Amino acid sequence: MTTATSTSVNADQVIYLDHQATTPVDPRVLAAMLPYLTSAYGNPASPHAHGRQAAGAVRAARRQLRQLIGASADTEIIFTSGATEADHLAITGIARALHDAGNHIITTAIEHKAVLAACQHLTREGFQVTVIPVGADGLINPADIAAAITSGTVLVSVMHANNEIGTVQPIAEIGQITRDRGVLLHTDAAQTLGSVAFNVDHLGVDLASFSGHKIYGPKGIGALYIRRGTIRPVPQITGGGQEYGLRAGTLNVPGIVGLGEAAAILSEQRNTGARRIAGLRDQMLAMLRKALPDMRVNGSLTRRLPGNLNITIPDTDADRSSSSSPAWASPPARPATPASQNPRTCSPPSVSTGQRHAPASGSGSEEPRRSKTSSPQPGRSLTQHPRNEPALSKSAR
């Protein structure tokens, strides 16, 4: 028997406003998963009937996700434990695979910790990492990405939408730049898949990370899209030959099935749901502005996730307000404030310049797409370029 505390409330009494942190599992997703937790429990690597049944379910889920994102082949989908692992496989795996071609990576100041940590780790292996700040509207200027590309740049990683202020980055414009310069582009799309149109060809991305629990699927499952023809990333988990040799370990069949079912539901309902949610957000904003004239919205209102509203209320501690209101489940927040105009460099300082880069191979090419220029001198740096940026905390994946 459990004893209720002063802060406990019934689930149906909670106003849950933290769907960018996680979403509940859709009942249809749970129903699709249950057989693979009970009766259809085979290992998809097993050759007998139970194994073949599980393998068939994995193939179906892979196809469902592939269709949702507009990928050209099921083999472009690699299942992982979540978007964090997918980010590491994309960034660390590609960087190590292309180390002979270059040692420079570009990312942004508002990436999820999974991306920034992977980049920071690579500086200890001799990689140079340039961190591009955002403007006061929370958006990246594609020209800043173009200016940062050097002859040794092998990868650009820009999140599709920020996990706190909800700004949707101009990935298609950045994708055009990286294609023209022969540089691979990765995006963390954990926040956008459930509410924003996402097509790998329209956006021009070579790699994209996804998370199940952000789209009304289960926790502990995610995926990495790798465009066909992209150089093979160095595996981060070795052992068996699962996931085309890129991610060893017995497949999480119930989780994969749940991710696939969530993707199938989104294929039919995402646009309608997004419009409804955006309308509710705008209605809430109008009410808040009427009640709190001094409040301000953090980040662009036009390039924003439909379900995101990140605000600053002067002289109000957001964390304290959230913790003191048990029926109001909202994320911790800090105000978005402009950063210094001066460059900030993490040790040891090093800034590389240069523009020349090899052309990219076409979509679906069988030849690995990578830089063909010589590698610059090794260095260990994480450089930040000057530009106004919101100061953001990093919420948990």
Taking only the tens place, the pLDDT of each residue in 277-298 is 999 999 999 999 999 999 999 9
Catalogue all structural domains in the chain, each as residue range(s) with its CATH number: 11-22+269-329 (no CATH), 37-261+340-384 (3.40.640.10)
Please classify residue 272 by burial: count the beta carbons closer than 10 Å to its beta carbon, then call 0-12 exposed, 13-18 middle and 19+ buried: exposed
106, 117, 137, 264, 370 from 153: Cα distances, Å: 7, 18, 27, 36, 10
| Predicted pLDDT of residue 31 | 98
CA distance 62 to 205: 19
| Predicted pLDDT of residue 8 | 58
CA distance 61 to 57: 6
Which has the higher per-residue pLDDT, 353 or 129? Answer: 129
- Other beta carbons less than 10 A from residue 351's beta carbon: 14
Q: Is there a contact between 343 and 370 (Cβ–Cβ < 8 Å)? A: no
Q: Phi then psi for 287, rounded to 5 degrees?
A: -65, -40
CA distance 39 to 71: 32
The mean pLDDT value of the chain amounts to 84
CA distance 327 to 341: 40
Q: Phi then psi for 105, rounded to 5 degrees?
A: -125, 145
Taking only the tens place, the pLDDT of each residue in 67-98 is 999 999 999 999 999 999 999 999 999 999 99
- On the question of pLDDT at 367 being above 90, the answer is no
Q: Is there a contact between 131 and 389 (Cβ–Cβ < 8 Å)? A: no
Predicted TM-score of the model (pTM): 0.83
